[in-house]
Amino acid sequence: MTMVAKGLAGVVVEETRISDVRAEGVLAYRGVDIGDLIERPFMDVAAWVVAGTQEQDFEALLRPWVNLQDAETALILALPAELHPMKVLQAMVPVLSTDDGADLGFGEADRGLQVAAKLPAVVATHLLRKPVQLDISLPYAQRFLQALGVTDADYCQAFNVAQILQIEHSLNAGTFAARVVASTLAGVDSAIAAGIGALSGPLHGGADQAVLEIADTLKDEQEARAYVQCSLQRGEKLPGMGHREYRVRDPRARCLQGWAEKLALGGEHENTYRILVAMEDEFRKLMLPKGKELHANVEFYKGVVYRSIGFPNHFFTAGFAMARVFGYVAHFIESRLDNRIFRPAARYVG
């Protein structure tokens, strides 16, 4: 009898040249280790992921689509202010205006890149609840944060790093969802919307929001350790801890925890950061006797970085989506090179 691989764990369903994720703690975009990319401007790395070249100037290429049209702004502001930003993104992606006559050099994916250029303005408009005009003379991180009233160089660099770390991560749930939709020969906007929908889940990109909401209920490190003890006794998962692809610490978490510490210590978010550290320490201590060496993944400390910058909890994952959309576009392009519709089998047991 054929074994059923729940969640497709360990099943190889596709080949890719976009990113390499290895259990020993390696993440590389098109053969370049993430540690060698995080100091680059975000759009340079996005171009490397999508186009596979460092010669493509995505800042200039996408500049005409950075800002929203008046009708798009009006549509966002007509949505309920309390609507979760991930639902706003998923709803807006298919209706964002693009120029089908513009030739960006990526065929069907041209529309996807134009949509990707607009997502920061969509997020900023929904967050601020007013029309937003991003300064196209500034690079990606600075122009987005300036719209939120943030100009500090450390915050801009931390955000740039966080976004680079989130561009791409092989066949994660969101990217797989995007590739499944792309395999039907649906348009790139449908693939992006599917990826965003998957990313919103607390077992995927939504873990950043979930873990900060837990931390917000705890007053100090002692309570944090007690929470983890009780949580594990109840058989509950701790959001942001462990990663199915890594046997060691998530290399992205190594990069982001340093920024979380730098931005939080000595400031208003220091207690939150210390609570998270205590949660991770206690979780790892309790899991080791079970033979499981688990560490924080990229979502665990990212919320402190985003919160320091000025993101409310429920906007964390939308910030993630702003970066990951370039990964979705890269996979859409790759899928068109040798497409076959995804159609796995299910064993009927009724």
Q: How far is CA 294 from CA 170, 172, 182, 280, 298, in A?
A: 21, 19, 34, 9, 13
Q: Which two tokens stand for residue 320?
A: 């993630």
SS3 48: helix
Looking at residue 220, its pLDDT comes to 96
Looking at residue 297, its pLDDT comes to 82
> By C-alpha distance, which of 157, 154, 197 is closest to 175?
197
Looking at residue 21, its pLDDT comes to 83
Looking at residue 96, its pLDDT comes to 97
pLDDT band at 237 (very low <50, low <70, confident <90, very high): confident
Which residues make beta-bridge pairs with 26?
22
Q: What is the pLDDT of residues 251-280, one digit of tens each?
A: 888 888 899 999 999 999 999 999 999 999
pLDDT higher than 60, residue 69 = yes
Q: How many CB atoms lie within 10 A of CB 276?
A: 26
- Burial call 79-97: b when 16+ CB within 10 Å, e when fewer: eeeeebbbbbbbbbbeebe
Residue extents of the structural domains in the chain: 36-204+312-335, 207-308
Q: What is the pLDDT of residues 200-220, one digit of tens each?
A: 988 888 888 888 999 999 999
Q: What is the pLDDT of residues 159-173, one digit of tens each?
A: 999 999 999 999 999
Task: Please report how the helices 85-92 and 188-199 are oriented relative to each other, as an axis angle in degrees rounded to 10.
Answer: 170
Q: Which two tokens stand for residue 103?
A: 């030739």
CA gap 16, 171 in Å, rounded: 9
pLDDT higher than 80, residue 10 = no
Q: Give CATH for domain 207-308.
A: 1.10.230.10
DSSP tag of 69: P
Average pLDDT for the chain: 92
Strands (E), the chain: 19-22, 26-29, 32-33
User: Of 90-104, 181-195, 286-300, where does mean pLDDT reach its minimum?
Assistant: 286-300
Pairing of strands 32-33, 26-29: antiparallel
Q: Do domains 36-204+312-335 and 207-308 have the same CATH topology?
A: no
> By C-alpha distance, which of 350, 332, 3 is closest to 168?
332
CATH class in words for 36-204+312-335: mainly alpha
Looking at residue 246, its pLDDT comes to 59
pLDDT higher than 80, residue 232 = yes
Instruction: Provide the whole-model pTM.
Output: 0.92
Pairing of strands 19-22, 32-33: unpaired
User: Of 23-37, 54-68, 127-141, 321-335, where does mean pLDDT reach its minimum?
Assistant: 23-37
